[in-house]
Amino acid sequence: MKPYSNIEIHGTGSPVVFLHGYPLNRSLWDNQVAAMKGRHQVILVDLPGFGSSLPISSEQFPDMAAFASDVRQSLSASSVDDPIVMVGLSMGGYIALEFWRQFPEQLRGLVFCHTKSSADTPEAKQNRVKTAATAVSKGTSEAVAPMLEKLLSECSRMNDPALDGWLREVMFSVPPKTIEASLLAMANRDDFDDRLSQITTPSLVIAGTDDEIATTETMQKMSRGLPNSRFEVIHDAAHLSPKEQPDDFNDLLLEFLESL
Ligand code: MLT
């Protein structure tokens, strides 16, 4: 069966695969392409249902494992068979953990940005189920608007006012069924806290000083659990440091890639 994820490949070299968060698309990584592509093959993924990829339903993508295996299929379909470095932001990080569980031999490195290894609390799960129902009954904008204020730091909003417009355009154009499917799949995700010690793949963990969704404390704890990891904090960034502080983000990523 044809994979749902859609991928865009820039340049040649060792492959680095970028997985965006919810409810975004591959344009999250626009600032990384120019910085990386002379040295690495940059592979941007539109996850199933997002951006230019095919629409999905909750039955087809019930959990993060289904997203991870679809990404693997889309890489194979584009003949990306060498071991990769996978960079996952938030939901992309949940998928990267599942990718490690299913295909550890495919990974040279892992970069976890603004994400968590723990599963949802019962309350968080309930909220996701409610928001999924809102997306279907009232539309995407109503379901995702409350997230908007948490994604960017004050500093990012002041320095780059266009970021808010980009976010609204990307988030509000996601089909309601994709919102529903990805929320329910995140609510179903497994807890990886007790498995972190088995992830020996070299890892970089990136947090933002102003991130309320994946706090620096949560991410530092995640990094401590990973036996082969480095922890870095980006200043004046909330949940989307690749867009908010692209130079700092690119420096950290390039340094990590050079170290592998
Ligand atoms: C994301 O950015 O992907 C979301 O904040 C993840 C989540 O809702 O847990």
pLDDT digits (tens, 9 = 90+) for 125-174: 999 999 999 999 999 999 999 999 999 999 999 999 999 999 999 999 99
238 pLDDT band (50/70/90 cuts)? very high
55 pLDDT band (50/70/90 cuts)? confident
The closest-lying atom of ligand 1 relative to the alpha carbon of residue 214 is: 5
Q: How far is the CA of 134 from the centre of ligand 1 (A)?
A: 17
The closest-lying atom of ligand 1 relative to the alpha carbon of residue 186 is: 9
Q: How far is the CA of 91 from the centre of ligand 1 (A)?
A: 5
2 pLDDT band (50/70/90 cuts)? confident
Do 140 and 170 form a contact (C-beta atoms < 8 A)? no
Q: Which of 24, 64, 90 to mutate to test the pocket of ligand 1 (most atoms within 8 A of CB)?
A: 90
Q: How far is the CA of 21 from the centre of ligand 1 (A)?
A: 6
91 lines ligand 1 (CB under 6 A): yes
Stretch 100-124: mean pLDDT, rounded? Answer: 98
Residue 135 CA to residue 126 CA, distance in Å, equals 14
Q: How far is the CA of 41 from the centre of ligand 1 (A)?
A: 26
143 lines ligand 1 (CB under 6 A): no
User: Can you name the residues that pair with 70 across neighbouring β-strands?
Assistant: none
240 lines ligand 1 (CB under 6 A): no
Q: What is the pLDDT of residues 12-54, one digit of tens each?
A: 999 999 999 999 999 999 999 999 988 999 999 999 999 999 8
The closest-lying atom of ligand 1 relative to the alpha carbon of residue 147 is: 5
158's tokens: 């002041």
Q: How far is the CA of 183 from the centre of ligand 1 (A)?
A: 9
55's tokens: 């629409």
pLDDT in the model for residue 187: 98
22 lines ligand 1 (CB under 6 A): yes
pLDDT at 195 over 80: yes
